[in-house]
């Protein structure tokens, strides 16, 4: 899970760079504003949020394990899975409404 957390962090870095470039593309016209708006509003939102929730959920799990909040690794994994599923479900619900 640590490799997944680190992989998601690198993907997030790339997605944030695309968000910044597309945001400047919309406002400062450094790239085509129509493409920048499509990229910013439609294309990047779901992957950004999926990788953000994965990254935060796994990192939080390990932090709570270090603080000895969970007694077993199984309960920590259960927390991480439930957290990720609930937050992703809420996001998708809000995104598609």
The model carries a pTM of 0.84
**What does the CA dihedral 9, 14, 19, 21 come to, rounded to 10 degrees?**
150
Are residues 44 and 18 in contact, defined by beta-carbon separation less than 8 angstroms? yes
Cα gap 67→30, rounded to integer Å? 46
Question: What pLDDT, in 10s, does the model give residues 18-71?
Answer: 999 999 999 999 999 999 999 999 999 999 999 999 999 999 999 999 999 998
| Annotated domain spans of the chain | 2-96
Looking up tokens 């504003």 gives 33
């Amino acid at each position: 899970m640590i490799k997944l957390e680190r992989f998601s962090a690198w993907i997030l870095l790339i997605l944030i760079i695309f968000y910044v470039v597309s945001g400047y593309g919309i406002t400062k016209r450094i790239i085509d504003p129509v493409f920048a708006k499509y990229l910013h509003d439609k294309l990047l939102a779901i992957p950004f949020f999926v990788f953000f929730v994965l990254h935060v959920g796994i990192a939080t799990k390990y932090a709570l394990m270090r603080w000895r909040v969970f007694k077993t690794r199984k309960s920590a994994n259960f927390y991480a899975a439930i957290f990720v599923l609930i937050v992703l479900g809420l996001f998708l619900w809000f995104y598609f409404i």
